[in-house]
Structure 1
């Protein structure tokens, strides 16, 4: 990041010293699922755009031509903006799609493109549920008690998890991934314009905020991201900030978006360590 931009962002954030009281902090965390259900009840499938860009950014999602099926687990699937364009573009993929919100999963299943021949959706709390076990339960062809997948996508998902629960979520994801498999990650970066727009009284803790609708968002540095995945046992394949300048037509402003994009791999020698 440019030093001038970082300095300006740090100055803005330093002015925000008012944090949410503990009562409301606990309430937001306890009602996270309910707040996301309300979000999808209000917005249905209209809020997010289809993520056609993911194949350009992650070559692992492109069709290989081998004809071999690749099993992908999308955590935080929302209403299918990642899954459905990808299923149409790559016939080699089978996608397990899970989300914290039962309403979001219902909207995925109601989509005319949803077919259990290519996709199976289910509700899951990444921080508590047995993710490999849930995948196994819905996989009609699973031959073992613990199912693993080839790829896991985490696109704007970990930011919605309270910081104290992130390690549990990544541990669960690690166990659901086969050795040699990869996690494809993209999320909000530190000093993103959305972080700088929060008004005083929205900060839950450093770099962690609550939106007006009760949903929460964390803003990552590359260092924090790498440390979390390393602690969970992953190796870093690539990790970088992605900068995008977008235009807010309503306000007539150019907006600086900052994201963290990365690939992490589960070591192949995990098999030896577990034997």
Structure 2
């Protein structure tokens, strides 16, 4: 018999930073704006409702896999999360949707990616943070090449990143992705792009042309509207940036106090 006193919506925080919000009754209810933007990428990655093979680097409370399981039934999803304790907690308290093909592995994201069968994934989503920082091993050209190798032709890579003006980290990520992928775009709130605050951005990349117009329509309709930068405007943002390689890669910058705090 279900526990009627157990909450149906959960907010997961790690060291005071919000990691995931899950509504067990409605997996399409996405509280965090960056997750809504990643969900928009899921929405436009293929024909509506069509199943896709998704590799998630970073699990949290499996919010996005739950969303994809509902919006793209029959999709095959693999989630890589380094924190085995977090996996156990989430599986105990937040059961995955019945019948969803979601396989969860406690493993290092870079190591798993490098062992992924080439051309086996339609959509690769990277949302890996150690505390509040993207680990260095997921910021290099070599990492981007491993991501591209795992994707099928026309497959899409999306990454949650965080930075603030003058965007040294973000610009290096654009440069690294440009070394590997033919097409890029960036989703971000105008206040972040103008350097008014530290915040999340979503980098989207592919060897095929991206559905920029469809992404722009969706992000503009959000509660906190975002812009989709591409082409010349994205080139101006990344101008002069140099890609980083494994030997020189660093974690993303430490966010200022309170940047991602709850309440």
TM-score (norm 2): 0.54
Cα 1:55/1:175, change in 2 over 3 Å: same
Name 1:78's counterpart in structure 2.
Answer: 60
Name 1:91's counterpart in structure 2.
Answer: 73
Q: Could you say which structure has the larger radius of gyration?
A: 1
Name 1:61's counterpart in structure 2.
Answer: 42
Runs of 4+ aligned residues of structure 1 deviating over 6 Å after TM superposition are 40-43
Cα 1:132/1:58, change in 2 over 3 Å: same
RMSD over aligned Cα atoms: 4.0
Cα 1:131/1:109, change in 2 over 3 Å: farther
Corresponding residue to 1:155 among 106, 121, 127: 127
Cα 1:172/1:101, change in 2 over 3 Å: farther
Cα 1:89/1:99, change in 2 over 3 Å: same
| 1:157 Cα offset (Å) | 4.3
1:124-181 Cα deviation digits (max 9, x unpaired): 3233x242645xxxxxxxxxx6561101112354942126963343233222211210
| 1:120 Cα offset (Å) | 0.7
How far apart in 1 are the matches of 2:164 and 2:14?
A: 28
How far apart in 1 are the matches of 2:13 and 2:189?
A: 31
Name 2:101's counterpart in structure 1.
Answer: 118
1:187-223 Cα deviation digits (max 9, x unpaired): 102249xxxxxxxxxxxxxx9xxxxxxxxxxx733x2
1:26-73 Cα deviation digits (max 9, x unpaired): xxxxxxxxxxxxxx9977xx8533472545565442286665321111
How far apart in 1 are the matches of 2:38 and 2:90?
A: 24
Name 1:106's counterpart in structure 2.
Answer: 88
Name 1:242's counterpart in structure 2.
Answer: 189
| 1:80 Cα offset (Å) | 1.3
Alignment partner of 1:256: what SS?
coil
How far apart in 1 are the matches of 2:157 and 2:205?
A: 5
Q: Tell me, which stretches of 5 or more residues in structure 1 are unaligned? A: 1-39, 135-144, 193-206, 208-218, 246-254, 269-275
Q: Tell me, which stretches of 5 or more residues in structure 2 are unaligned? A: 1-11, 23-28, 210-263
Cα 1:162/1:60, change in 2 over 3 Å: closer
How many residues in Structure 1 have an aligned counterpart in Structure 2? 182
Name 2:204's counterpart in structure 1.
Answer: 263
TM-score (norm 1): 0.52
Corresponding residue to 2:143 among 169, 188, 203: 169
